[in-house]
Amino acid sequence: FALLTGATVLLYLFALLTIIPEMNRYRSRKDFLRQASQIAGTQAVIDYKYEGYASSFYMQRIVPMVTDVETLRKYVNQAEPVFVLMESAHYDQLRRDEPEIFAQFEVMLDQSWQSATNPKQVRRMLLVKA
């Protein structure tokens, strides 16, 4: 009985420390999004292909989601500065495919998260000012 109880507790702790954080991206992005909100202040913030409600929830504002480059270009070319939330894959794609948009970006916040279940997998999110 003691062996079964110990194994159950160890399995629970393993799940709690490795699997649950992987599934709960809202909580893992909480600090990043709150810092992004402080940096942006009252300026406009848009979400470029980062799906989920965490940005609106933790930033306590409406964050429009942009999924195409033309809409992003319209936001970036406005007279007022705009902040853009995006993952590193989309940032790298813009650098490669849209150099005129990328030239207007200034990285304000950059944070990476290492996967608890696969240490070789790293997720990176950025807040850029355009």
In the numeric block, the tokens 């109880």 are attached to 5
What is the pLDDT at residue 4? 93
What is the pLDDT at residue 10? 93
What is the pLDDT at residue 7? 94
What is the pLDDT at residue 56? 72
In the numeric block, the tokens 């902040």 are attached to 83
- Closest CA relative to residue 50, chosen from 83, 76, 97: 83
- Closest CA relative to residue 29, chosen from 5, 55, 9, 4: 55
What is the pLDDT at residue 6? 94
Per-10-residue mean pLDDT, the chain, length 130: 93 78 64 86 85 72 84 86 88 89 88 75 84
What is the pLDDT at residue 116? 65
What is the pLDDT at residue 53? 64
